[in-house]
Chains A and B, each alone.
Chain A
């Protein structure tokens, strides 16, 4: 994908054997995976599987009990982040474009000085997420899908090398979810930005994922979709039997009958196996 740099083969992020224990509970248990530059990775798991904790570890907001997180490549750690289930206050005195602009320089002190370059970059980013039409509306009064696009623009305008999105599709209707995914895939491919996106629903991400990290009970399996979404791999991960069924060209993951139903093995359908690049 990104063939420009000198470090094509180098991973942008390596998560190695990360454990997180909060009080006695193991939230993450030996989680390892790698992300190459420009790669689109889906972090799939049900609620409580440890997705947000994993993000907090990557962002440096939560120290792992064991293991390490390594950022490869030249330059400093540069991550864009879109937090989970985030709806902005409707009374926030801020236009959508103001929030995008803050993505450029919120870490700097002082009041932003308007400049041609600054507004040109904001404008360019608003275009990229198709947000021109509501750029001057109060950001908290936009719909969930529109806010999501603005938050993505906010996270991307600083040109990070890795973009983390925590359940960005959770409060969207199906149509908005597909729009957001298509948009993400397009921008990040164009700009060579790696994406790690968490979701409890594998469907909307199938066409675009280069790699999947499947989390269950704090443990992870990673690889291409064919490598991970298999009965043996997922059964091992869940610790009980799971069937991966092909129905009319779609695949469905079903918790094995008769087992004590740890229904984290939620049912997932997708159109064909192996839509990986």
Chain B
């Protein structure tokens, strides 16, 4: 490692297996959340994403009780929760928040119990912190194939559904009129969202997972006006903040209190937030041309007088 980089990459950074796994998994997860997140924002389903993230706590803490890896718990509970939301009626605009809220409440109730049991039986609060805030340095190499498999599954699903999903997200009516099965597409998307949230949870924790899902996507939507470019930008931002977070967390071992690194999630989420603010500045610059003339809001109903709505002959 060249010496001038030492201030950034502290000694031993690339030698540690935990770091290498973190870098690889972090990047993969950021790619998935970037691609899925653009549609989460477009479809106005950020609350559903947040709920799926939160409810992952139930699965993660349940998995701890059973002695299984937390990712299994995240995936299982998220898929079940997504199915429940779909059945209750997430597709209806008004039913959506209701369905999400109801499922979320039920799930978090269980999480309270599971986390209590975790701390009681295992006599540690480590489980709670790991699940809620993630621990990307503690991912075992045996979990990596599962993470890779799930990521590829979600990416394949998203790229396959890209066009019908995009039009459904622009207008469900226009999509339905073209014979696109809007409901089915929406359900498939919800599955992708459930899996993406589970993957995000393994890196930065259940309650922060939406930040990775929605933050880079929201910034990307401000910076570009093309759908595919928005996805690529979100992916780029996601990978960048993830890697920067990992490097900073590793470096922070030398910061006070010495010998205890700061959480990766803290850095990732903070960077996401800062980039979102900065993207606002970028957007202002992009707005040069788009001072579109506003429409006359609505024609007043034509009164009896004929001349109000004259016709050019």
User: Which residues of A come within 8 Å of B, CB atoms?
Assistant: 59, 61, 79, 81, 83, 86, 88-89, 91-95, 98-99, 102, 105-112, 136-138, 141-146, 151, 154, 164, 170-174, 176, 178, 201, 203-204, 206-207, 247-248, 250, 252, 254, 266-267, 269-271
Q: Which residues of A lie under 8 Å from residue B225 when comparing CB positions?
A: 93-95, 136-138
User: Which residues of B come within 8 Å of A, CB atoms?
Assistant: 38, 42, 159-164, 166-167, 170-171, 173-180, 220-222, 224-230, 289-290, 292-299, 301-304, 306-307, 309-313
Q: Which residues of A lie under 8 Å from residue B171 when comparing CB positions?
A: 83, 86, 88
Per the bound structure, the CA–CA distance linking A93 and B177 in Å amounts to 22
Query: Is the Cβ of A106 less than 8 Å from the Cβ of B177?
Result: no
Query: Is the Cβ of B312 less than 8 Å from the Cβ of A178?
Result: yes
Query: Is the Cβ of B290 less than 8 Å from the Cβ of A141?
Result: yes
Cβ-closest chain A residue relative to B38? A93
A102 with B167: in contact, given A172-B295, A173-B295, A252-B306 (CB under 8 Å)? yes
Per the bound structure, the CA–CA distance linking A143 and B292 in Å amounts to 6
Task: Determine how close the nearest CB of chain A comes to the CB of B157; give it in whole angstroms.
Answer: 11
Cβ-closest chain A residue relative to B290? A141
Q: For B306, give its contact among A94, A107, A176, A247 (CB under 8 Å).
A: A247
Q: Which residues of B lie under 8 Å from residue A105 when comparing CB positions?
A: 163
A204 with B311: in contact, given A79-B177, A111-B159 (CB under 8 Å)? yes
Per the bound structure, the CA–CA distance linking A115 and B163 in Å amounts to 16
Per the bound structure, the CA–CA distance linking A254 and B305 in Å amounts to 11
Per the bound structure, the CA–CA distance linking A144 and B297 in Å amounts to 9
A106 with B227: in contact, given A59-B176, A93-B221, A111-B162 (CB under 8 Å)? no
Cβ-closest chain B residue relative to A137? B290
7 contacts between A and B (CB under 8 A): A81-B177, A92-B170, A106-B163, A106-B180, A110-B163, A141-B292, A171-B297
Q: Which residues of B lie under 8 Å from residue A109 when comparing CB positions?
A: 160-164
A173 with B299: in contact, given A105-B163, A109-B164, A137-B290 (CB under 8 Å)? yes
Cβ-closest chain A residue relative to B173? A83
Cβ-closest chain B residue relative to A93? B230
Per the bound structure, the CA–CA distance linking A270 and B166 in Å amounts to 42
Query: Is the Cβ of A81 less than 8 Å from the Cβ of B178?
Result: yes
Q: Which residues of A lie under 8 Å from residue B164 when comparing CB positions?
A: 106-109
Task: Determine how close the nearest CB of chain B comes to the CB of A200; give it in whole angstroms.
Answer: 9
Query: Is the Cβ of B295 less than 8 Å from the Cβ of A203?
Result: no
Per the bound structure, the CA–CA distance linking A28 and B271 in Å amounts to 57
Query: Is the Cβ of B289 less than 8 Å from the Cβ of A91?
Result: no
Query: Is the Cβ of B302 less than 8 Å from the Cβ of A173?
Result: no
Task: Determine how close the nearest CB of chain B comes to the CB of A194; give it in whole angstroms.
Answer: 16
A206 with B311: in contact, given A83-B171, A94-B226, A107-B163 (CB under 8 Å)? yes
Query: Is the Cβ of A88 less than 8 Å from the Cβ of B295?
Result: no
Cβ-closest chain A residue relative to B296? A173
Query: Is the Cβ of A144 less than 8 Å from the Cβ of B295?
Result: yes
Per the bound structure, the CA–CA distance linking A269 and B309 in Å amounts to 8
Per the bound structure, the CA–CA distance linking A164 and B177 in Å amounts to 10
Q: Which residues of A lie under 8 Å from residue B289 when comparing CB positions?
A: 137
Q: Which residues of A lie under 8 Å from residue B160 when comparing CB positions?
A: 109-110
Cβ-closest chain B residue relative to A96? B225
Per the bound structure, the CA–CA distance linking A99 and B160 in Å amounts to 19
Q: Which residues of B lie under 8 Å from residue A178 when comparing CB positions?
A: 312
Task: Determine how close the nearest CB of chain A comes to the CB of B211; give it in whole angstroms.
Answer: 19
Q: Which residues of A lie under 8 Å from residue B299 when comparing CB positions?
A: 172-174
Leading 8 A-B pairs by shortest Cβ distance = A81-B177, A106-B167, A93-B230, A144-B295, A269-B306, A173-B296, A83-B173, A141-B290
Per the bound structure, the CA–CA distance linking A174 and B176 in Å amounts to 30
Per the bound structure, the CA–CA distance linking A127 and B94 in Å amounts to 39
Query: Is the Cβ of B309 less than 8 Å from the Cβ of A83?
Result: no
Query: Is the Cβ of B311 less than 8 Å from the Cβ of A271?
Result: yes
Q: For B302, give its contact among A93, A110, A136, A201 (CB under 8 Å).
A: A201
Per the bound structure, the CA–CA distance linking A152 and B171 in Å amounts to 14
Contacts A61-B177, A112-B163, A267-B304 known; 16 new A-B pairs at CB < 8 A: A79-B177, A81-B177, A88-B171, A93-B42, A94-B227, A98-B226, A99-B170, A106-B167, A106-B180, A109-B162, A110-B160, A143-B293, A178-B312, A203-B310, A204-B311, A269-B311
Cβ-closest chain A residue relative to B313? A271
Cβ-closest chain B residue relative to A87? B295
Q: Which residues of B lie under 8 Å from residue A164 when comparing CB positions?
A: 177
Query: Is the Cβ of B292 less than 8 Å from the Cβ of A146?
Result: yes
Query: Is the Cβ of B226 less than 8 Å from the Cβ of A95?
Result: yes
Cβ-closest chain A residue relative to B287? A141
Q: Which residues of A lie under 8 Å from residue B163 when comparing CB positions?
A: 102, 105-112
Task: Determine how close the nearest CB of chain B comes to the CB of A29; give it in whole angstroms.
Answer: 24
Q: For B229, give its contact among A93, A111, A141, A266 (CB under 8 Å).
A: A93
Per the bound structure, the CA–CA distance linking A79 and B160 in Å amounts to 25
Q: Which residues of B lie under 8 Å from residue A83 when comparing CB positions?
A: 171, 173-174, 177
Query: Is the Cβ of B176 less than 8 Å from the Cβ of A61?
Result: yes
Cβ-closest chain B residue relative to A206? B311
Cβ-closest chain A residue relative to B223? A93
Cβ-closest chain A residue relative to B162? A111
Per the bound structure, the CA–CA distance linking A178 and B290 in Å amounts to 24
Per the bound structure, the CA–CA distance linking A110 and B157 in Å amounts to 9
Task: Determine how close the nearest CB of chain B comes to the CB of A246; give it in whole angstroms.
Answer: 11
